[in-house]
Amino acid sequence: MSTNEEEREEEASYIDYETFLAPDFKPSSFANTLVLATNNPNDAPLDLSTPLSKVLFDSQEIDSHIDLLTTRSAIPLLTYTKDQTDASGRIISEIDQQVKSLNESYRQLEKEVIQKHAEADEVRQVASRLWETLKLGRSVGRCLQLGRQLEVQHSEISSAASSGTAASATATGGTSSSGKREDHRALVRCAHTIVSLREILDRRAPGEEGHGLERVHAIRTLQDGVVGPIERSVRTASEQVVREFSIGSASGTATFAQSEETRARTVSAMMALYLLSPTPTGGGATRSDGRWAPQLLLQALEVYLRNALQSSTASLARSLATLPSLDRTLAEVAARCQNIIALEIILDTTKAPVHPLLLPPSSQQPPTPARPTSSSHKQHAAVTPAATSTEKHTNLLQPLLAHLETGSLASYFWRTMAGGLSTRVQEIMNRGGVSARTLKSNRNSVADAIRECVVRGSQPPSTVTAAKGKAGRADPEKSGWEREVAVMVGSVVGNLGR
C-alpha cells in the first residue's frame, strides 16, 4: 500500500489533475499556456514540437494509469457489477408483480367506475335536457294560457263597448251603462294579464322563466298576433276614455250615478295605462330623482290637459273678438276647468296599483324559509326599503304633478292658458278695428266675467265633491285662487292699453 501511495503522489505531482478536472478548463487556453511556457514570445518561428510532446506524454501516462487501475481493480469491479445486476433483477421481478396487480386493479376500476360514470354522465345530460325542456314547456304553456285568457278578456271589452256605445254618447241609457261598466273593468284585467306575460317574456337570462322562449315559434306568434295587437287596443281604448273624460256637471245634466260611472271608467283606464307603461327593464323612463314614471298615463293626461288648454284658449280668443259669445265661451272654459279639478280629485283619491315588474326579484319569488340568524334578518330588512322606494306612488296624482312641475292642475290650467291668451289679445289689439275698440271699451265687464269664470271653474263638480268630500279645496277665499284670477284678468286687461 505504501508503494501505491508513493506512486500516486509522484503521478499527482507530475500530472496536474486539478487543471484537467477544473469546471472552467478549456483546451485552447491550456494549449496556449503550453506554447507560451516552451517558447519565447518574441521568437518569430514557434516550436510546437515540445508542447505537443508534453501533451502526448501526459496522455500516455494517463492511459497507463487507467490500465493499471483497471487491472488491479478488475475483480472488485466485476463483483460490484454482478451484485448490481442481481439486485436489479430482484427489483424488476418484484416490480413486475406490483405492476401486474396495479394493471388488474385499474382494469377492474375502469369496468366498475369509469364506464359506469360515463353512463351516469349520459343519464345526467339527458335528465338535464329533459328538465330544461320541461321548464320551457311549462313557460310556453303558461304563456299560451295567459294569451288565451287575454283573448277572452279582450272579447269582453269589444262586446261591452259595442253594447255601450250609444249609452256613452248620450249618458242616459241604464241597460247599456251596465255593459259599459264591464268594459272598463276588462281594461284592467287585460292590463294585468299583459303585465304577467311581460313578467315571463322579459326574464331571458339563463335559469329564469323566460329563458329560451324567444326561440319558440308559438311564443313569437303569440307576441306578434295576440299580445301586441291587444295591448295596442287596450292602450288606445284607455287613452280614449281619458281623452273623453267629462263629469258633465256644468250643464246640470249629469246625475250622481252617471258621474260615478264616469269616475270608475276613468279610474280603470288610468290603471290600465299605469300598468302598461314601460318599466326600467323594458326601456321605461325615470324621473330626475331616479324614480319610475308611468309614461303612458302621463302622456294621456298631458294630452287631455293640452287639448283642454288649446280649445279653451282658441275659443276664448275668438269670443274676445266677438263679445256677445263671451259668456257662453267662459261657461265652457269653466266647465273644462271643473273637469280638470274633478280629474285631479280622482287622481288624488286613486291609489297607485302594485306593479309586479317594479318589485325587486327577491320579492317576486315565492318566500323561502330563512335560517333564524341575525344576518338573514338584516338582509330582509335591507330589501324591504328598496321595494317600497321603487313602488312608492301613494296615488296617481303625484307623478303627474311632478311631471308638470306644478302643485295643482287647476293652477296649471289657468296659468298656462293665461300665457297663451296674452299673445292672442295682443294680436286682436294689433289688428285694431271694431273688435279691438269694443274689447277695450268693455274692459271692466270682461274682467268681471273672467274673474267669475275663474272662481266658478275652480269649484269642483258637486257630484265629485259629495262623493269624496273635496269641497274645501274649491273655496276661492280659502284656497288662494286670487293669484289665478289676477293672472287671467291681467292676461286680457293688461294687454288692452289705456
Residue with cell 293672472: 487
299 HSE (CA, 13 A, CB side): 15
Burial of 268 (0-12, 13-18, 19+ CB in 10 A): buried
Choice between 430 and 167, residue whose per-residue pLDDT is larger:
430
For residue 340, what are the contacts with CB-CB under 8 A and spacing of at least 6? Answer: 305, 308, 409, 410, 413
442 HSE (CA, 13 A, CB side): 17
Helix (H) or strand (E) holding 463: helix 462-468
Write down the pTM of the prediction. 0.67
pLDDT given at position 387: 39
**Average pLDDT, rounded, for the chain:** 80
> Is the pLDDT reported for residue 359 higher than 50?
yes
pLDDT given at position 268: 92
Per-residue model confidence as pLDDT tens digits over 27-61: 888 888 888 888 887 777 778 888 888 888 888 88
Rounded mean pLDDT, 333-346:
92
What's the DSSP call for residue 354? Answer: P
Cell of 192: 294585468
Confidence of residue 296 (pLDDT cuts 50, 70, 90): very high
Per-residue model confidence as pLDDT tens digits over 129-152: 999 999 999 999 999 999 999 999
For residue 103, what are the contacts with CB-CB under 8 A and spacing of at least 6? Answer: none
Pick the range with the lowest mean pLDDT from 43-52, 128-137, 156-165, 393-402. 156-165
- Could you tell me how far CA 250 lies from the centroid of its own chain? 46
pLDDT given at position 281: 67
For residue 337, what are the contacts with CB-CB under 8 A and spacing of at least 6? Answer: 308, 410, 413, 414, 454, 457, 458
Residue with cell 279639478: 341
Burial of 335 (0-12, 13-18, 19+ CB in 10 A): buried
Cell of 226: 295576440
pLDDT given at position 248: 66
Rounded mean pLDDT, 233-237:
93
Residue 345's CB is within 10 A of a number of other CB atoms, namely 24
> Is the pLDDT reported for residue 6 higher than 70?
no
Residue 215's CB is within 10 A of a number of other CB atoms, namely 9
Confidence of residue 495 (pLDDT cuts 50, 70, 90): confident
Radius of gyration of the chain (CA): 51
CA distance 170 to 332: 18
Pick the range with the lowest mean pLDDT from 62-71, 177-186, 235-244. 177-186
CA distance 213 to 215: 5
Per-residue model confidence as pLDDT tens digits over 269-280: 999 999 999 887
Confidence of residue 111 (pLDDT cuts 50, 70, 90): confident
88 HSE (CA, 13 A, CB side): 6
What's the DSSP call for residue 246? Answer: -
Alpha helices of 252-325 — where are they, by DSSP H?
A: 256-276, 295-321
Distances (CA, A) of 34 to 39, 53, 54, 136, 345: 9, 11, 9, 92, 119
> Is the pLDDT reported for residue 93 higher than 80?
yes
> Is the pLDDT reported for residue 287 higher than 80?
no
Query: Is there a contact between 150 and 226 (Cβ–Cβ < 8 Å)?
Result: yes
pLDDT given at position 498: 63
Query: Is there a contact between 222 and 143 (Cβ–Cβ < 8 Å)?
Result: yes
Q: At what angle do helices 2-14 and 49-72 cross, to 10 degrees?
A: 160
Query: Is there a contact between 267 and 346 (Cβ–Cβ < 8 Å)?
Result: yes
CA angle 323, 329, 335 (to 5 degrees): 155
Confidence of residue 175 (pLDDT cuts 50, 70, 90): very low
Pick the range with the lowest mean pLDDT from 236-240, 344-348, 357-361, 473-477. 473-477
